[in-house]
């Protein structure tokens, strides 16, 4: 893991390819600043949206004088507001993420860097959150290309720490972030408390949630033999196993069931669930899978 942080998270060629991408939200979201995107809010852009009856107090500048001439009634022209996108990336840095080659955390950081880069280039408001038992660190929303180095530095500095508590972290995040927008959750979902509650927090705020589950190869295809005392790296919970073919089989079945349950939960709530292994090239993930799933365009 230590080596992974030293490497630059993103290569120059990859960045060049990322520049052509932009983040897409399936929902029309509101932003604080006027940005490149159409907002649900009616505003001052040139894109016409609708008319409404004039009521006292409305801005007279938006009266449609042509219509008043024809119909002798006062209508206010409504314009679609163009605004920026709230793009939050949540990175799980609990110790359990410090596993695999490359580590899950490193992989998560790479994905986060790529997505954040895309967001910054497209003048979205990109916020980064690092969490384990709670939100551990955050990078206040950044905009514009010149913030890329700050985002990179922030990512580089993330170290694995603490036991994970997804639920609490999500709760805190939801309370902190007022605006809606795209939320990308990078975690392994290996939380004994379950995944339902944290996802519910996000869904409740009508965020456009992308749940990316990252697992290492060791978790997907465990290569264990003999009589083992498995120690949970986070809570020191012990599981004594005598590894047998049946046990391995059972483990894989359980993993598949777990993934299936997660997927189903996400699908039902409009969350986009993406499963990836650290063995899968992350650029491929960003350039291919996320594109297919509509996160980037």
Partner 1 sequence: MRDLRNLPYLTVLLSSWFALGLLLVLLLGVLLAGALTFLGPWLEQNWNLTFPTPLPLTWWYVFPLIPLVLILLYFLKLKRRALHVPSTFLWKKSIEDLHVNSFFQWLRRNLLLILQLLFLVGLGYALADPTYNSEARGRHFILMIDNSASMSCADGGEENSESGTGGRTRLEEAKRRAHDLVDRLDPSDQAMVIAFNDEARTVQSYTNNKRDLHAAIDSIEPTHRPTSLEQALALAEGQANPRQSGVDFTLPQAEDGLTAPRATERPEGITTQVHLFTDGRFQDMPDFRLGNIRPRLEVVGSSADNIGIVRLSLVRDEEEPDQFILAVQVANFGDEALRERVSVQMEVFNRQGKQDARIEPVNLAPRQVREVPTATEGKPRREETPGLATPQPILTFAFKDPGQGHVRVSLLDRKTGQAWKDIFPVDDVAWLAITPVRRARILRIGDANDILDAALRAVVQQQRAVVTSLEPSAIPNDPVYRLSTEVEQFDLVIFDRCAPPSMEMMPYANTLFIGQVPPLPPWGRELWSKMQPMDDLYVKEFLVSHPLMRGIETLQGMSISQAKALPPDVLPPRSSALIETQKEPVLWALGRGRYTDLVMTFPLVVEENGVKNIWNTNWPRQPAGTFPLFFDNVVLQLGRYKEYDESVRPGEAKPLELDVPVRSITVRRIDPADGTSVEIQSIPGRGLAFGDTDFVGLYEATWPDQKYRFAVNLFDVQESMVEPRRELRIGEEVVSGEEQPMRARRELWPWFVLATLVVLVVEWIVYQRRIYV
Q: Which residues bind partner 1 (CB under 8 A)?
A: 96-97, 99, 104, 188, 190-192, 216, 218-219, 224-234, 237-247, 250-251, 253-255, 258
| Residue 123 vs 241, nearer CB to partner 1 | 241
CA distances 4 to 49, 100, 126, 217, Å, are 49, 11, 23, 17
> In the bound complex, what is the minimum distance in angstroms from residue 112's beta carbon to partner 1?
19
Least Å distance, CB 214 to partner 1, is 11
Q: Contacts by 223-228 with C-beta closer than 8 Å and gap 24+?
A: 224/248
Q: Nearer Cβ to partner 1, position 251 or 275?
A: 251
C-alpha dist (Å) from residue 82 to 20, 115, 156, 196: 21, 22, 33, 34
Q: Rounded to the nearest whole angstrom, what is the least distance from the CB of residue 114 to partner 1 in the complex?
A: 24
Of 11 and 101, which CB lies nearer to partner 1 in the complex structure?
A: 101
CB of 119 to partner 1, least distance (A): 29
For the chain, how many residues are written? Answer: 297
Nearer to partner 1, 47 or 196 (CB): 196
Contact indicator for 51, 74 with CB cutoff of 8 Å: no
Cβ closest to partner 1, residue 98 vs residue 124 = 98
Q: In what order do the strands lie in the sheet with 272-277?
A: 135-142, 125-131, 86-92, 182-187, 208-215, 272-277
Q: How far is the CB of 269 from partner 1 (least distance, A)?
A: 22
CA-based nearest residue to 83, from 35, 141, 143:
35
Is the bond preceding residue 102 a cis peptide, omega within 30 degrees?
yes
- CB-nearer residue toward partner 1: 41 or 104: 104
Least Å from the CB of residue 197 to partner 1: 16
Pairing of strands 37-53, 75-83: antiparallel
């Amino acid at each position: 893991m230590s080596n992974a942080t030293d490497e630059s998270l993103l290569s120059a060629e990859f960045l060049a390819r990322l520049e052509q991408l932009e983040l897409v939200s399936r929902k029309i979201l509101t932003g604080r600043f006027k940005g490149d995107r159409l907002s649900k809010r009616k505003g001052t852009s040139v894109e016409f949206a609708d008319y409404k009856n004039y009521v006292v107090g409305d801005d007279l500048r938006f009266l449609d004088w042509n219509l008043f001439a024809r119909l002798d009634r006062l209508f206010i022209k409504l314009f679609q507001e163009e605004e920026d996108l709230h793009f939050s990336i949540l990175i799980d840095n609990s110790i359990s993420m410090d596993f695999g080659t490359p580590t899950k955390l490193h992989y998560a950081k790479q994905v986060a860097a790529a997505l954040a880069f895309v967001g910054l280039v497209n003048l979205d408001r990109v916020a980064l959150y690092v969490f384990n038992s709670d939100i551990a660190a955050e990078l206040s929303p950044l905009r514009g290309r010149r913030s890329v180095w700050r985002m990179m530095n922030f990512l580089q500095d993330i170290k694995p720490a603490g036991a994970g508590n997804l639920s609490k972290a999500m709760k805190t995040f939801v309370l902190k972030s007022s605006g809606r927008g795209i939320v990308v959750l990078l975690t392994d979902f290996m939380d004994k408390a379950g995944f339902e509650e944290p996802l519910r927090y996000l869904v409740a705020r009508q965020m456009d949630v992308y749940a990316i589950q990252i697992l290492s190869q060791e978790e997907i295809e465990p290569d264990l033999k003999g009589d083992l005392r498995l120690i949970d790296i986070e809570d020191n919970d012990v599981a004594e196993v005598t590894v047998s073919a049946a046990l391995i089989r059972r483990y894989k079945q359980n993993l598949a069931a777990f993934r299936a349950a997660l997927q189903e939960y996400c699908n039902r709530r409009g969350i986009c669930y993406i499963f990836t292994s650290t063995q899968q090239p992350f650029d491929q993930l960003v350039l291919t899978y996320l594109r297919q799933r509509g996160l980037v365009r």
